[in-house]
């Protein structure tokens, strides 16, 4: 595989590129869904190919093919350079690349129980069983899902990189729905789209779906007759899973350097952050320290090297409430005058690598969910995301959760249905006055982060734990 990548790079350089790299990838994917006690869908996918990136002037050219024979990969390298050269019709300033360690290495994620080697019937029995349990508990629609990715990459660059990696990821989840007059209710476990990590099937065993099936079914039924979340301003406690999405949307995307530079303005959007304020802008309260750390064992955004060959390393993004870092690639870092990259990945051989979140999450605080509830006289506790929306600068957000609880005089009270909250990112984060500690920190995985044109789906991780925010607008309805 290294030979194919090397030929492609040599061809791109021979055609006139001043830098080129190539990734040969072999990707295997398996997914199963079950519904109401039956397997609904079983799909497997196996793809191989090479993607070549060539730099000419101000533009990347990229070409990808599934054929790995010598002639095909050389032609792919030449096509990448030809495509980059065509960009000269609409040129910008030459793009440079920030320096990186040039390594020849091999890396693999930890995996105790190979998920693709387990029998399909065992995996299917798990999903069928939990959906049957939820159905028997009285819900009309019960669904469960697992997904497995097994990815091998061979990366070669014209600077001398030669790195192979094998990353195995998997996860699972379940949800149920109930229907009432004019509304539907939904409950999920352990997250609204499941929990995922760079791990083997041991991750799925650890979340123990069967132990939670009856509970979420009962909650979905109870929500149908629960009072609607009141509208107004109140203290808001968010569970860890919802916090992971809050971080993803209002911190992770906002600190992507390509967005800040305007390179994503046409689609994903830009950012409310101004590079000139890096190091001096207050992002949130003193409790807020966010890192981007692709070295976290088992988290979904972990790897040995990113798709530019930069070794995985942790960066501070927000330290004690101050904005101090970004997610960058070698080109965007150079453009911004920064000296670090390491956050560039592609979702397959056929897509160009771009800035993606790694594991962007909070460092733990001094509190606990229990202490937050005890310390709250009048508020709402919300958990498990149901809807998410944020503007193209990543400031104005509105999120809906599956379930809420009234908090009165330090006690968790009655259920509330259709809870929503809205706010402006920096104001919201500035209002965070309690944050749970290490015992409640989880590395939540997001397997479906969309970005780029053509569209790419990224895998990101988000260390998160419960937190409390003061004076938040809740209960927005149509």
Partner 1 sequence: MTRLEDTAARVLELVAAANRSADAAVTVSRESLALTRFAESFIHQNVADESDRVVLQVHVDGRTASAATNRTSPEALSALVSSCLTAAAQSSVDTRWAGLTPPMGVHSSGNWDESTAVAAPDARATAVRSFVDAAAGLSCAGYCQTMSVEAAFANSAGQAATGRSTQASMDAIARTGRSDGAARTAAIAVSDVDGAALGAAAAAKARAGEVQVDLEPGRYEVVLEPGAVSDLVAGLLWQGMNGKAVAEDRSFVKVGEQQFDPAVSLWDDSTDGRATGLPFDAEGTPKRRLDLVTDGVTTGIPHDRRTAAACGTETTGHAVEGGERWGALPADVRLGPGSVCDSVAETTEDLVLDVERGLLVSDFWYTRALDPKTLVYTGLTRNGVWLIEDGRLGAAVSTLRFTQSYVDALQPGAVLGVSRSTESSPRAIAPAAGGLSSLVVPSLRLASWNITGGAAG
Q: How far is the CB of 448 from partner 1 (least distance, A)?
A: 13
Q: Judged by CB under 8 A, which of 14, 66, 230, 279 binds partner 1?
A: 66
DSSP string, 348-416: STTS--EE---BEEEPP-SB-HHHHHHT-SEEEEEEEEEEEEE-TTS-EEEEEEEEEEEEETTEEEEEE
| C-alpha to C-alpha distance for 443 and 293, rounded to whole angstroms | 11
Report the site for partner 1 in 238-297 (rule: CB under 8 A). Answer: 261-267, 269
Asked if 337 is part of the footprint of partner 1 (rule: CB under 8 A), the reply reads no
Asked if 388 is part of the footprint of partner 1 (rule: CB under 8 A), the reply reads yes
Report the site for partner 1 in 103-122 (rule: CB under 8 A). Answer: 119-121
Asked if 48 and 71 count as a contact pair (C-beta separation under 8 A), the reply is: no
Contact map string, positions 1 to 20, toward partner 1, x by CB under 8 A: --------------------
For 320, half-sphere exposure in the C-beta direction (CA atoms, 13 angstrom radius) is 2
What are the start-end ranges of the H helices in 87-177?
120-136
Q: Judged by CB under 8 A, which of 103, 422, 431, 470 binds partner 1?
A: 422
H/E stretch holding 278: none
Q: How far is the CB of 413 from partner 1 (least distance, A)?
A: 23
Q: Judged by CB under 8 A, which of 3, 14, 46, 366 binds partner 1?
A: 46
Q: Judged by CB under 8 A, which of 51, 190, 309, 365 binds partner 1?
A: 51
Nearest to 443 by CA among 225, 295, 259: 295
Q: Judged by CB under 8 A, which of 39, 139, 318, 360 binds partner 1?
A: 39
Asked if 79 is part of the footprint of partner 1 (rule: CB under 8 A), the reply reads yes
Q: Is residue 5 classed as helix, strand or coil in its secondary structure?
A: helix
Q: How far is the CB of 273 from partner 1 (least distance, A)?
A: 16
Q: How far is the CB of 398 from partner 1 (least distance, A)?
A: 5
| C-alpha to C-alpha distance for 444 and 121, rounded to whole angstroms | 27
Torsion angles phi and psi, residue 352, rounded to 5: -75, 135
Q: How far is the CB of 84 from partner 1 (least distance, A)?
A: 6
Report the site for partner 1 in 428-457 (rule: CB under 8 A). Answer: 453-455
Report the site for partner 1 in 178-207 (rule: CB under 8 A). Answer: 179, 182-184
């Amino acid at each position: 595989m290294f030979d194919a990548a090397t030929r492609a790079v040599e061809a791109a350089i021979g055609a006139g590129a001043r830098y080129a790299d190539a990734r040969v990838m072999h990707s295997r994917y398996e997914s199963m869904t079950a519904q109401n006690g039956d397997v609904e869908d079983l799909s497997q996918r196996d793809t191989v190919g090479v993607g070549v990136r060539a730099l000419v002037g101000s533009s990347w050219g990229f070409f990808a093919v599934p054929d790995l024979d010598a002639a095909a990969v050389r032609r792919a390298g030449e096509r990448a350079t030809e495509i980059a050269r065509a960009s000269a019709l609409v040129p910008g300033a030459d793009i440079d690349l920030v320096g990186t360690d040039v390594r020849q290495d091999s890396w693999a994620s930890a995996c105790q129980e190979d998920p693709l080697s387990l029998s399909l019937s065992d995996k299917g029995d798990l999903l069928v069983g939990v959906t049957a349990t939820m159905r028997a508990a009285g819900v009309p629609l019960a669904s469960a899902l697992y997904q497995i990715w097994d990815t091998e990459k061979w990366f070669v660059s014209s600077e001398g990189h030669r790195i192979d990696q094998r990353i195995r990821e998997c996860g699972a989840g379940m949800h149920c729905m109930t229907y009432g007059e004019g509304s539907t209710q939904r409950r999920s476990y352990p997250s609204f789209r499941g929990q995922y990590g760079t791990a083997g099937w041991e991750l799925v065993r650890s979340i123990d779906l069967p132990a939670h099936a009856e509970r979420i079914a009962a909650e979905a039924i109870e929500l149908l007759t629960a009072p609607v979340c009141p509208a107004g301003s109140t203290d808001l406690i968010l569970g860890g899973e919802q916090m992971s999405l809050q971080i993803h949307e209002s911190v992770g995307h906002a600190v992507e350097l390509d967005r800040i530079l305007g390179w994503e303005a046409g689609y994903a959007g830009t950012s409310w952050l101004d590079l000139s304020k890096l190091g001096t802008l207050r992002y949130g309260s003193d409790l807020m320290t966010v890192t981007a750390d692709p070295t976290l064992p088992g988290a979904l955004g972990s790897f040995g090297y990113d798709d530019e060959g930069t070794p995985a390393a942790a960066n501070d993004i927000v330290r004690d409430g101050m904005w101090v870092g970004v997610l960058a690639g070698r080109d965007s870092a150079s453009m911004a005058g920064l000296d670090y990259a390491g956050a560039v990945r592609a979702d397959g051989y056929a897509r160009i690598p771009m800035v993606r979140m790694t594991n962007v999450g909070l460092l733990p605080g001094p509190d606990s969910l229990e202490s937050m509830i005890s310390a709250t006289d009048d508020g709402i506790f919300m958990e498990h995301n149901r809807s998410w929306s944020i503007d193209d600068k990543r400031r104005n957000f509105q999120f809906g959760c599956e379930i809420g609880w009234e908090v009165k005089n330090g006690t968790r009270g009655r259920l509330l249905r259709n809870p929503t909250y809205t706010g402006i990112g920096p104001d919201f984060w500035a209002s965070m006055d309690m944050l749970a500690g290490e015992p409640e920190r989880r590395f939540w995985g997001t397997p479906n982060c969309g970005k780029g044109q053509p569209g790419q789906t990224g895998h990101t991780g988000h260390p998160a734990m419960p937190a409390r925010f003061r004076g938040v607008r809740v209960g927005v309805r149509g």
